[in-house]
Amino acid sequence: MAKAGGKSPGIKDDVIGVIYQRLQAASDVDQYLQDAEQQGDREVVEFLRDYQESQRDLAERAKNLLGARMARTEAPREARVQPGKKLVVDAEHLRKDVGSPTNAQMKSGGQAQDDIVDEQSKESFPASDSPAKY
């Protein structure tokens, strides 16, 4: 959500805002639910519970989306800055396939010289199938 006359805070901030708004909306319904229950209006109670559940589901989806995006864009842990030089990154920890989540960082018992494509193929394909990434 862009601020008037200012810089856009970024998509992650927007998703965080959505999470907050959906959880707040689900929380606000509690009073309405109590009122409907006291008056014995089952139809309204059911509607409000459905609404509350949908808001919580949307917040959960937003949390999952945000978590996946953050996991894919985290800086490598082995990054280090040398005085007077550019950022140096340990190539072993680079993520080449940023567009999709992967478990390629988990070693599958391959050789030390195997690259990320080798790791992905061992994790993603049965032994009888040829790797799709080659």
Q: For residues 23 and 56, give the distance between their C-alpha atoms in angstroms, rounded to a whole number.
A: 6
Residue where the block lists tokens 């959500």: 1
- Token pair belonging to 105: 């960082």
Q: Are 37 and 45 in contact (CB under 8 A)?
A: yes
pLDDT in tens, 53-70: 999 999 999 999 888 888
Q: Are 90 and 113 in contact (CB under 8 A)?
A: no
When the pLDDT of each residue in the chain is averaged and rounded to a whole number, the result is: 71
Give percent of the chain with pLDDT exceeding 90. Answer: 34
Q: For residues 38 and 21, give the distance between their C-alpha atoms in angstroms, rounded to a whole number.
A: 27
- Residue 118's pLDDT is 53
pLDDT of 24 higher than 80: yes
Q: What is the pTM of this model?
A: 0.48
Give percent of the chain with pLDDT exceeding 70. Answer: 48
